[in-house]
Amino acid sequence: MRRYLALSLMVFISSCNDVEQSSGLTNILDSGVLKVGTTYGLTTYYNGPTGPIGFEYELAAGFADYLGVKLEVFPYYNLNELFPQLENSHIDVIAAGVIVSPDRFNTFKFGPGYQRVTEKLVFKQGDEWPRGIEDITGELVVVSGSSHTESLSLLQQSHSDLTWQETDEKDMEELMEMVLEDKLDYTIADSNILALMRRRFPELAIGFSVSPEHDIAWAVNKQKDDSVLAAMIEYFGIIQSNGKFAALEDKYFGHVRQFNYVDTREFIKKSKTILPTYQAWFKQYSKDIDWRLLAAMSYQESHWRPKAKSVTGVRGMMMLTLATAKELGITSRLDPEQSIKGGAEYLAKILRRIPDRITFPDRLWFALAAYNIGFGHLEDARVLTQRQGANPDMWVDVKIRLLQLRQKKYYKTTRYGYARGNEAVAYVDNIRRYYDTLVWLDEQQPQMLEEPQIELKPIDTISTEMEPTEVAATNKE
């Protein structure tokens, strides 16, 4: 059906264009291959532990599926290398988080804008804050061929003393790291990429916006007919209407919209100093769950404090209720190993209750929310989601309804009633941020998470003395 729709679209578009123009969609369908050019990066494309990954990559894979063809990805190190490949028809589409700048708009055709970003001047926290162009007093370097050079050229018209350098040797992420290492005073970064980078490097600070908001869109060859462009518009319309785009955007960006400098810096510090003490237990008891996710949960629950206690009576590293601890055979919630074991088992138990049709990562976000707010309240939010015509199996839709559990007109219609759904949403977002940072620390800088040489005792040999002041608490059920 998708191939039929695409063919019909191509026939219609081609009939409206100059017959001498070659039909890009015909070539793609005849060859059975969609050739997509992109760049390496956090939000575009890279090889992860299980294969290719990235926001742009997943969008491109979906477009290839829509057309019924195979996807071939051609990654490059910078846009200067990529754009000529499109002009020479070596690739069909550029999907690389490309900002639609005026110059680019005059050179290429662009599909529908699917994100809005601004360009930010980046400096190191603690240095003098540049609040405007006139405050730039040091070395400014940007990626050659980027939209940043175009924005700076526009600013230079009113600030003739503005100067900068361009490089083909570094990408945007590398330039930000150079700022942190005091090898560079300033650079410019797109706001979506900067949001992700600040979870790893909280000392990256924002001076001011260098440009107004721009669209991000896919580029196609201006010399070809509009058949690929029309198919692209249709595809983005479909994934916008069925919620798939919102889910994908939430997967990569939904948890980093808010930034807390103090919290991020403290988390990274404790990941180096406190986490190694308990890391072996997180690995031992995580089983099918990524140990780094379990560790991120524990930090959100207790900041890795074995004797943590909340006003509701939950205790320990994983903040277990007394009832849940007894159900899991945990004799002391204050013992860090028992708490980690119990928290892992309880999360696994919740995961088993999530309907099989719900896939990862949504399945995991649902389980985390239920760990915090209770499975019953999660189900209430899913029922509200379905009543309101949204998808109860997608986290991006359900988290909106979790917020409604605080509103009387909604919670009075549910089985379990009022709940602090906003806290559950924040809980999941925080864990996702901590988890992303731990993955980066573990994979890119493993020496930061080196485990101390400690002997782990079997859990049944640890003292089973009960906590001296156990109090009843509301079960997380």
Looking at the domain assignment, is residue 448 inside a domain?
yes
Name the least confident of 15-24, 49-58, 249-258, 324-333. 15-24
| Side chain identity, residue 70 | K
Task: Based on the fold, state whether residues 125 and 203 are members of the same structural domain.
Answer: yes
Task: Based on the fold, state whether residues 189 and 224 are members of the same structural domain.
Answer: no
Looking at the domain assignment, is residue 394 inside a domain?
yes
Average pLDDT of the chain, as a whole number: 87
Task: Based on the fold, state whether residues 265 and 334 are members of the same structural domain.
Answer: yes
The average pLDDT across 261-267 equals: 88
Q: Could you tell me where the DSSP H helices lie in 218-287?
A: 227-241, 244-253, 261-273, 275-286
Task: Based on the fold, state whether residues 249 and 369 are members of the same structural domain.
Answer: no
Its pTM stands at 0.72
Half-sphere exposure of residue 455: CA atoms within 13 angstroms, side-chain side: 3
Looking at the domain assignment, is residue 136 inside a domain?
yes
Q: Predicted confidence band at 191 (pLDDT cuts at 50, 70, 90)?
A: very high
- Tell which of 212, 245, 278 closes a domain: 212
Total domains, the chain = 3
Looking at the domain assignment, is residue 471 inside a domain?
no
- With a cut of 60, say whether residue 22 has pLDDT above it: no
Looking at the domain assignment, is residue 345 inside a domain?
yes
pLDDT at 196: 87
Task: Based on the fold, state whether residues 16 and 86 are members of the same structural domain.
Answer: yes
- With a cut of 60, say whether residue 1 has pLDDT above it: no
Q: Active site residue: 56, 119, 173, 301, which one?
A: 301
Looking at the domain assignment, is residue 473 inside a domain?
no
Our CA angle for 316, 255, 184, nearest 5°, is 105
Between helix 2-15 and helix 55-67 the angle, nearest 10°, is 80
Task: Based on the fold, state whether residues 12 and 130 are members of the same structural domain.
Answer: no
Domain CATH number, residue 323: 1.10.530.10
Name the least confident of 345-349, 440-444, 457-461. 457-461
Task: Based on the fold, state whether residues 303 and 413 are members of the same structural domain.
Answer: yes
Q: Is 301 a catalytic residue?
A: yes
Looking at the domain assignment, is residue 67 inside a domain?
yes
pLDDT at 34: 97
Task: Based on the fold, state whether residues 345 and 287 are members of the same structural domain.
Answer: yes
Looking at the domain assignment, is residue 381 inside a domain?
yes
State the residue range of the domain holding 395: 261-461
Task: Based on the fold, state whether residues 244 and 359 are members of the same structural domain.
Answer: no
Task: Based on the fold, state whether residues 80 and 138 are members of the same structural domain.
Answer: no
Task: Based on the fold, state whether residues 160 and 235 are members of the same structural domain.
Answer: no
Domain CATH number, residue 139: 3.40.190.10
Our CA angle for 239, 240, 246, nearest 5°, is 95
The average pLDDT across 200-210 equals: 94
Task: Based on the fold, state whether residues 190 and 43 are members of the same structural domain.
Answer: no
Residue with tokens 């608490």: 473
